[in-house]
């Protein structure tokens, strides 16, 4: 079972890196890099186990642009269950599929992301008390980011 998951994980990472390379092959012309970004998130963790297990999660990220549409930065996510908790800390590369319009961020920006880091679980066992373990983690996927507050509106 673990070999199948590792093979699937490797394919997802290779696909994400291939898509990223394709997007970077034709960089936007003469655009400035956006400033640093802080994001808050709420969503779900999907755990591939005997069956797919879904748990609500909260987290946040910081992104620092190295190219007009490519950013790097840390992400943290936390899940608190009834008798367990999970913490994920990854370093991510995010590629915005569209750039700013007229020097301003778009209201909606589709993106893809890939990264790796640490996954920690804590849980209460019937006979062993609290058990904590750490393992590697990866993130790969995409989504749509919506602009809530822009710094021009704060000035």
Q: What is the pLDDT of residues 31-47, one digit of tens each?
A: 678 889 898 888 877 77
How far is Cα of residue 74 from the mean position of the Cα atoms in its chain?
9
Nearest residue to 137 via CA among 41, 50, 45, 56: 45
Kindly give, in sequence order, each residue whose CB lies less than 8 Å from that of residue 88, ignoring residues fewer than 6 positions away: 45, 59, 75, 76, 77, 78, 117, 118, 119, 120, 137, 139
User: DSSP code of 20?
Assistant: H
Measure the CA–CA gap between 150 and 6, rounded to whole angstroms: 40
Tokens of 104: 């301003």
Task: Write the pLDDT tens digit of every residue in 2-22.
Answer: 444 545 555 655 555 555 555
* Cα–Cα dist 119/48, whole Å: 14
Residue spans per domain, the chain? 2-154
* Residues in a beta bridge with 70: 67, 95
pLDDT digits (tens, 9 = 90+) for 63-116: 999 998 999 999 999 998 778 899 999 999 999 999 888 877 788 999 999 999
In this structure, the number of other CB atoms found within 10 A of the CB of residue 139 comes to: 20
What does the pLDDT average to over 122-135? 86
Confidence tier at 56 by pLDDT (50, 70, 90): confident
Query: How far, CA to CA in Å, does 101 sit from each of 28, 40, 97, 105, 152?
Result: 12, 23, 13, 6, 15
Three-class DSSP category at 148: coil
The CATH code for residues 2-154 is 2.40.160
Is 11:114 a contact under the CB 8 Å cutoff?
A: no
pTM beyond 0.85, yes or no: no
Q: Shortest CA distance to 143 belongs to which of 108, 102, 118?
A: 108
């Amino acid at each position: 079972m673990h070999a199948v998951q590792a093979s699937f994980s490797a394919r997802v990472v290779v696909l994400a890196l291939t898509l990223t390379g394709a997007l970077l092959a034709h960089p936007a012309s003469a655009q400035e890099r956006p400033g640093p970004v802080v994001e808050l998130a709420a969503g779900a963790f999907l755990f591939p186990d005997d069956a797919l297990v879904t748990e609500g999660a909260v987290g946040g990220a910081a992104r620092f642009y190295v190219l007009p549409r490519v950013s790097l930065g840390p992400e943290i996510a936390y899940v608190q269950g009834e008798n367990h908790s999970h913490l994920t800390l990854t370093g991510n590369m995010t590629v915005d599929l569209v750039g700013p319009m007229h020097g301003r961020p778009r209201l909606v920006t589709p993106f893809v992301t890939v990264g790796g880091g640490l996954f920690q679980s804590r849980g209460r066992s019937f006979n062993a008390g609290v058990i904590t373990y750490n393992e590697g983690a990866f993130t790969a996927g995409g989504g749509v980011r919506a602009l809530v507050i822009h710094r021009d509106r704060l000035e």
